[in-house]
Amino acid sequence: MTATTLAADQLRAACDPASLPFETTATLEPLDALIGQDRAVEAIRLAAQMEHHRFNLYVHGPEGSGRHSTVLKILAEEAAGRPVPADWVYVQNFDDPDRPLAIELPRGEGPRLRAAMTALVEDLATQIPSLLVSEEYQNRRMALEQEFGARHETAFEELRKAAESRNVAILRTPMGFSLAAMHGGEIQKAEVLARLPEEERKKLQEDVAATEKELEDFLMSLPELEREQRSAISRLNEEMAKVAVDAALTLAMRGFETMPALAAHFKALRADLIAHADLFLSLERGKANDPFPAELAALREDPRFHRYAVNVMVTQAGDVTAAPVVVETLPTLANLTGQIDYIPMQGALVTDFTQIKPGALHRANGGFLVLDARRVLTEPFAWDALKRCLETKAVHVITAAERLGLIATTTLEPEPIPLKVRVVLVGDRLLHLILSEFDPDFGQYFRVAAEFGDDMNRSADSVGLFARLVATVVARERLRPVSRDGVASLVDAATRAAADQQKLSLRMGEIWDILREADHRAGKAGSAAVTAEHVRAAIEAAERRRSLTRDRLREATVRGIVQISTQGSVIGQVNGLTVSELGEERFGAPVRITARVRMGTGRVVDIEREARLGGPIHSKAVLILSSFLATRYVPNTPLSLWASLVFEQSYGGVEGDSASLAELCALLSALADVPVSQSFAVTGSVNQMGEVQAIGGINEKIEGFFNLCREVGLTGRQGVIIPQSNVTHLMLHTDVVEAVAAGRFHIHAVASVDEAIEQLTGLPAGKRMLNGEFEDGSVNANIEVRLLDFADARASMLQLRLPEQTEDQNEG
């Protein structure tokens, strides 16, 4: 029988505190870098330094590996060497108000321009009304009114005299003008005129008609005269407004004269201010009865004056010395590309360029934008909008309502702002694969991928770096220094998390949570440093907090509700080992696997698969068992077997192949009619050659069976059979190691199914000899004899049926 028993020192790779050259982490130099992620760091730096717009970055790796913190740290370093980006503002497009203009300004000039325009409007709100009530203005306006009044009276007087020369009088009435015939210089009544000679009366009627036509022409000319008067007054107002506008604008433009981007805007602004000077007059008239000056706040809120405002979309004013690094935690369409708000006014929704709000792309322009990949993809329209902005190298403000066609009102089309940004998506590996496979645009704009690993090699150097990393966290979070044995315990925890004696887990989030809780316990104990005792207590407490389900399942097993035997021997029954994950809780538990056999047609029935509880990997494992049986035994005889396999008291899905060794052992026991020890639990995968392969969750599985055996009573015969290739993954709790060292529990590592069946039955598995038969008295010999018996019995049944069929055919 092959020696398979593992020694206690093979079950745990404990870090020796004496190997650490320090007393506490207080004497260690903090580590200013992440350990074990050199490839990821290199990829992040490449993306951060590249200028080409396609070299955006996708970062993926396990949770707690430091993805976000590392990305932000590197981006902050790169941003410090980049120039502070310019300001961007939106202003009124006086030619097309629905298409606001975007203007780039030097850093910090956006708020200053906004303040200057606010002051300009406030100044004109006072100066323009003041000018238009000045004595000079009133005199010039009175002169214009008198001039046009004189022209009106002169024309009317000429018309009146011409009428009188024809003996026609023009009379003013409340309803306008009327005409009356005159005779002898006096207005005559109709009956008097009727007595006039026919020729004279006819002449008088013709004169009245001619005067009526001239009066009509005169009245028709009055609107034109009034228009001329209004135009003249408007020119006067404009001339006077120019004085106020030029004076106020000259003051507002101070410091902006050298900015070419503003020249065209100031020119259009001046023309519009002069043309709409009456806005300021209407404001003043509205405040005429107010004993106080117009409220400046009300002036700023008046939508009529928004056209002269400046909407600062992004500014880098203040003590900013680096390019921006923006983290958008809720990447909706509006939060990414900005939005346009609407104001309810008189029952309708209206908007203007001052209602444009910036998004993360505006704030990150000239720097870096960090997004959660899954959240971007789940927000409606966000992913498409992001790709469009990257494609056009500009930020387009488009609302979701517009995309859906829900807004039936006037909206805006702001001029896109040129975009120069490095986008960093942080997600998982599966999402990266899906995007690479199914989104043809993804590879065009995200050319770099930074993959964070799960673990790193454990060596003296890496343990030293780990200790310095502990010192860094202690200093950053102001924790108590950690003693050398405390660091050794954290190293052991990292090895346990990696599930490999030669590795350290890089899921540092879990390790730092242990450190923080250990620091809390050290504080409660009044200790100046965090020791191994505090670390172990923190680990045990965290495990206890999340172990309710595990303990309830173990209790049900101890009470016999879940049937698991830890003593005795049974044919066709093996204790398998499973791992369950419920949130953060991960624990192992035994499960009874049984097999039944009889003569048949060579079929192995997987009851889990038949009941649709078995996953594809588990079904594959059972098919491998069928292949193993068909090729190992009775190679020259058809396999005349019917067998069934089942996980007893399993009411949920079964997936994975880690129970295939246990299933095969149960099947071999049933075929050989040899009992297997119930003191053992078995885990491992098996291939078609009968070789045992490594599986996952090895530590939890062993500990799950050990805890059950300890609960019902250790006999010194109990143990676990595991794959030989899993020995390097053992990082068992100290209570298991101590039990193994004391001979109260055993762990066997096997490389083949023969080694496993020998441990379970106490009989030799048996090798095939030169005569082609297995050794007498071996398990394999018993199996082959049983299968030959099945084959003979089946052949006899077929021979008995054949004559009956022939006789039936003859009768037919």
Count the residues in the chain: 812
User: Residue 678 burial by CB count (10 A; 0-12/13-18/19+): exposed, middle or buried?
Assistant: buried
- For residue 672, which amino acid is it? A
Question: Considering only CA atoms, which of 84, 242, 228 is closest in space to residue 155?
Answer: 228
What would the two tokens of residue 177 be?
Answer: 């003008």
CB atoms within 10 A of CB 124: 25
**Numbers of helices and strands, H then E, in the chain:** 28, 30
What's 19-47 look like in SS3? HCCCCEHHHCCCCCCCCCCHHHHHHHHHH
Measured at the alpha carbon of residue 8, what is the angle toward residues 530 and 569, in degrees to the nearest 5? 125
Establish whether 189 is a catalytic residue: no
What would the two tokens of residue 587 be?
Answer: 């624990």
* Separation CA 388–CA 386 (nearest Å): 5
CB atoms within 10 A of CB 383: 21
Question: Considering only CA atoms, which of 505, 531, 508 is closest in space to residue 518?
Answer: 531
* 345-379 CB burial, b ≥16 within 10 A, e <16: eeeeeebbbbbbebbbbbbbbbbbbbbbbebbbeb
Return the SS3 of 528: coil
* Separation CA 315–CA 89 (nearest Å): 9
Establish whether 620 is a catalytic residue: no
Question: Considering only CA atoms, which of 308, 230, 300 is closest in space to residue 274?
Answer: 308
Which residue in 658, 669, 677, 685 is the catalytic one? 658
> Which residues, 6 or more positions from 3, have their beta carbon under 8 angstroms from its beta carbon?
none
Question: Considering only CA atoms, which of 691, 492, 698 is closest in space to residue 578?
Answer: 698
Residues forming a β-bridge with 339: 357
Please check whether residue 719 is in contact with residue 746, taking contact to mean a CB–CB distance below 8 angstroms.
yes
Question: Considering only CA atoms, which of 46, 53, 44, 40 is closest in space to residue 366?
Answer: 53
What would the two tokens of residue 421 be?
Answer: 């940004």
> Residues with catalytic annotation?
658, 701
